[in-house]
Chain A
Amino acid sequence: MTIQFLGKTLKNPMVLASGILGNSKDILERVHEQGCGLVTMKSIGPEPRDGHKNPTVIDLGHGMINAVGLPSPGHLNMENEWKDLEKRDFPLIASVYGGSVSEYQRVAKFVSTKKPDFIEINISCPNSEKHGMIFGVNPQSSHEVVSAVKKVINVPLIVKLTPQALDIGQIAKICEDAGADAICAINTVGPGMVIDIESKRPVLAFKKGGLSGPMIKPVAVRCIFDIYKAVNIPIIGLGGVTTGEDAIELIMAGASLVGIGSAVRYRGIDVFGKVVKEMETWLKAHSLSIEEIKGAAHKEAL
């Protein structure tokens, strides 16, 4: 199921979502070996950051809620990891976050010199007051971050968006105009909250957290549908994909590649290979190719 994406050849359209198992070259390599075409590092920030206290990730059965809080060694403290990654034989997205336009730019510029295949800017994380989502809900700051980063990097730029934006199609279009090469959508939904009624406390230490997994898939499908209508650049669609049929649904909404995160919890680290196989089975049974179904849901009549 080889696929072309922004000038690179991927073995299949599966993408490991940022924040899932992206901590080291070894584990990224294992995810690739388990059938994932393109893997994403954990978001890299401007300074060392521990993230929030536990509990940070809770499974709700129909999905998860998390407020890990953007832990990062900081872009200047990852020499071992960069050195390991130099020798990789798999395509890689480096995800980047900041607390200001200049921080995004500084981190992205540095990361670009480490030659990931793509840089993704995370303007959509709901789990920090100062980073991420605060940029992605606002058209003007989205434009500023994207154009600032685009100027200083030498690899294609992916922008990861939040479903909390009032009009995600509009934000995507603004990112495209500012120089984005692809859109990744969606980051986690919410934030939401879960209260333990026995202790009368929010379960997450950060109290609020982003929702992921099967419960958010309809939101992801709608967002991808809106973005596909608004832009011409490719979309990495993700949000609640657990099976091959889920992936097909996101592609029909307009995704070129399909990301997986929470499903690692539900089906194991080999979920990528399983989903690819299920997609192949479905496509074969319907005598269709990925190209034929991409954006198919936008056709007005059969």
Chain B
Amino acid sequence: MMNPITDQKPIMLRVIEKKIESPEFATLFFEYAIPFKPGQFVMVWIPGIDEKPYTISYHSKNQFAITIEAKGLFSKKAITLDKGDLVGIRGPFGNGFEIQSKKHVGVVAGGCGMAPLATLAEQLDKNTTFIHGARTKDYILYPDRFDIDRQFCTDDGSFGHKGFVTDILEKEIASGKLFDMIYACGPEIMMYTVFKICEKHQIPCQISLERYMRCGFGVCGACVCGKQIVCKDGPVFNSAVLRDMKDFNTKALLKSGKDVDLSLYFSWRCK
């Protein structure tokens, strides 16, 4: 008998489908009814390799998926997995986004930060303001996936506007658009800028943070950020919490527990 997915031991699932999203991203689908809220994540174990957190990027009654960007040792292995391969799943973990219904919201996605926002965007109204940026065209994740119109931008202008998502957000606000909530995920400097813009205009926001993780359920302390435990209290944090989070956009812990500047942390994470 198969165990139900719990947040306890990993349950082994076979990849049922692999989708190449772009030259930089692939999605692995699993058949399993996992309880879920947009923004939550699972710990993905490749036996003999490692175990890492991945957001759930597609979700339906009987299936879910994770989307991988090949950038580190683990993800370069994960992206080679294919139909029939076995991986261990623990979770879901974390809090997920609080969804504000029947209000005008904005979604701001940068790079692979699109993944946790994808299942959220599927639940939002068509009139949502959806801003999506990446380094280049190849890093635009799910270009054709949603009903909501998106404003695209890239750092090099290879797709959509040339520039940053935060420029577009400022323009939208300046043009008189009123937001009841902004959801954002992407590079931490981008999320910090979104947060600052939101603070300036008194718009509540929710952003999803990333830190190195071990347990996934708030005991080991590897992912602490200020007084918050990212895997358990987050990964989604709202404006009120962000205001007091002194390590936001400044510090993160390496695997050893050493606190370092974010730039050093992210260069280590991409190794």
A53 touches B221 (CB 8 A): no
Q: Which residues of B contact A74 (CB under 8 A)?
A: 256
Q: Which residues of B contact A60 (CB under 8 A)?
A: 8-9
Q: Which residues of B contact A68 (CB under 8 A)?
A: 214, 220
The B146-168 residues at the A interface (CB cut-off 8 A) are none
Q: A54-B50, A201-B47 are in contact. Are A21 and B257 (CB under 8 A)?
A: no
The A174-210 residues at the B interface (CB cut-off 8 A) are 194, 196, 198-199, 201, 203, 205
Bound CA–CA A19/B222 (angstroms): 10
Bound CA–CA A72/B88 (angstroms): 28
Q: A55-B43, A55-B51 are in contact. Are A196 and B10 (CB under 8 A)?
A: yes
| B7 contacts partner chain A, Cβ-Cβ < 8 Å | yes
Bound CA–CA A78/B43 (angstroms): 29
Stretch of A240-248, A257-265, A286-294 at the chain-chain interface? A257-265
| Main secondary structure on B side of the interface with A | loop
B221 touches A56 (CB 8 A): no
A71 touches B255 (CB 8 A): yes
Bound CA–CA A59/B6 (angstroms): 10
Q: A22-B221, A30-B227 are in contact. Are A196 and B258 (CB under 8 A)?
A: no
Closest to A22 in B: B221
Bound CA–CA A269/B231 (angstroms): 13
Interface bits A16-34 vs B (CB < 8 Å: 1, else 0): 0001111110110110000
The A146-200 residues at the B interface (CB cut-off 8 A) are 194, 196, 198-199
A59 touches B255 (CB 8 A): no
Bound CA–CA A167/B60 (angstroms): 55
B220 touches A196 (CB 8 A): no
| B5 contacts partner chain A, Cβ-Cβ < 8 Å | no
A49 touches B221 (CB 8 A): no
| B86 contacts partner chain A, Cβ-Cβ < 8 Å | yes
A42 touches B221 (CB 8 A): yes
Q: A54-B214, A56-B215 are in contact. Are A27 and B227 (CB under 8 A)?
A: yes
CB-contact partner of B224 in A21, A51, A58, A264, under 8 A: A21
A199 touches B219 (CB 8 A): no
Q: Which residues of B contact A265 (CB under 8 A)?
A: 215, 217-219
Closest CB-CB distance, B262 to chain A, in whole Å?
A: 14
| B97 contacts partner chain A, Cβ-Cβ < 8 Å | no
The B71-93 residues at the A interface (CB cut-off 8 A) are 86, 88, 90
A53 touches B50 (CB 8 A): yes
| A48 contacts partner chain B, Cβ-Cβ < 8 Å | yes
| B70 contacts partner chain A, Cβ-Cβ < 8 Å | no
| A81 contacts partner chain B, Cβ-Cβ < 8 Å | yes
Closest to B49 in A: A53
A54 touches B257 (CB 8 A): no
CB-contact partner of A72 in B215, B226, B232, B256, under 8 A: B256
B10 touches A73 (CB 8 A): no
Q: Which residues of B contact A29 (CB under 8 A)?
A: 227
B220 touches A199 (CB 8 A): no
| B12 contacts partner chain A, Cβ-Cβ < 8 Å | yes
Q: A54-B52, A57-B214, A81-B259 are in contact. Are A20 and B10 (CB under 8 A)?
A: no
Bound CA–CA A261/B13 (angstroms): 31
The B182-236 residues at the A interface (CB cut-off 8 A) are 214-222, 224, 226-227, 229, 232
Closest CB-CB distance, B37 to chain A, in whole Å?
A: 18
CB-contact partner of A269 in B9, B51, B229, B247, under 8 A: B229
| B176 contacts partner chain A, Cβ-Cβ < 8 Å | no
B259 touches A24 (CB 8 A): yes
CB-contact partner of A48 in B12, B218, B256, under 8 A: B256
30 A-B pairs within 8 Å (CB atoms) are namely A20-B221, A21-B221, A21-B229, A23-B257, A26-B226, A30-B227, A48-B258, A49-B256, A53-B50, A54-B52, A55-B10, A55-B43, A55-B51, A58-B9, A60-B8, A71-B257, A72-B257, A73-B254, A73-B256, A81-B259, A194-B9, A196-B9, A196-B47, A196-B88, A201-B47, A203-B9, A203-B10, A203-B45, A269-B229, A269-B232
Nearest first, the 5 A-B pairs at minimum CB distance are A73-B258, A54-B51, A57-B215, A198-B12, A23-B221
Q: Could you list 14 further interchain pairs (A-B, Cβ under 8 angstroms) beyond the known A26-B224, A265-B218?
A: A42-B221, A48-B258, A50-B254, A57-B219, A59-B217, A66-B215, A73-B256, A73-B259, A77-B258, A196-B10, A196-B88, A198-B86, A261-B219, A264-B218
Residues of B within 8 A of A (CB): 6-10, 12, 43, 45, 47-48, 50-52, 86, 88, 90, 214-222, 224, 226-227, 229, 232, 246-247, 253-259
